[in-house]
Homo-oligomer: A and B are copies of this chain.
């Protein structure tokens, strides 16, 4: 029996369409229950596959969520890899890696879709927030100076997001006209400062 003949044939281990059905089920479950509420078990049941197949394709729930956004999982990994470099390189590396995703046609579309869908509906917004909280925030804050690492990281992240929105979505002329290198040179020291520099509140209290 051809398992990819178009009709629903139940469990189809490892086939391309199993992967697609998992993604489809994941989008529905994440939308309905949020990142926290959705379970691999429920997604597997809806897709008619074994939970182990989800792990095989996507690693864990965060990997599955990223894939369900149609962002290549390497995209997130590329940015996260920043934090295995020496800490005085984080600003430049995170900035380059992040804008690199927006410059690459393969990742630019999904990123744009993620941002646009997050603003278009509250469930997508919540889903994105939960995902950021459960992955990027949790994984990266452990590396940062422990005086308010969450504020450090989110100020840095939203700075990058804002500039990306200005350059790639709003297409504000001066940001479009600028060389990416000039933008990185301008923004990276700020990112570095937010991630590892002294916090102003600490300075004000001493």
Contacts and interface: CB of A to CB of B under 8 A. Distances in A.
A8 B172 CA distance: 40
Interface residues of A, number: 49
Contacts of A132: 170, 172
Contact of A186 (B119, B165, B200): B200
A173 B120 contact: no
B163 A159 contact: yes
Q: Which one of A118, A133, A155, A194 has the highest number of Cβ atoms from chain B below 10 Å of its Cβ?
A: A155
A137 B153 CA distance: 29
A129 B175 CA distance: 12
Q: Which one of A151, A160, A177 has the highest number of Cβ atoms from chain B below 10 Å of its Cβ?
A: A151
A66 interface: no
A175 B160 CA distance: 15
A153 to B, nearest CB: 7
A162 interface: yes
Interface string A153-175: 11101111111011101111111
A175 B162 contact: no
A201 B182 CA distance: 6
A204 B119 CA distance: 38
A169 B201 contact: no
Interface of A: 115-116, 118-120, 125, 128-129, 132-133, 137, 148, 150-151, 153-155, 157-163, 165-167, 169-175, 177-178, 182-183, 185-187, 189-190, 193-194, 199-201, 204
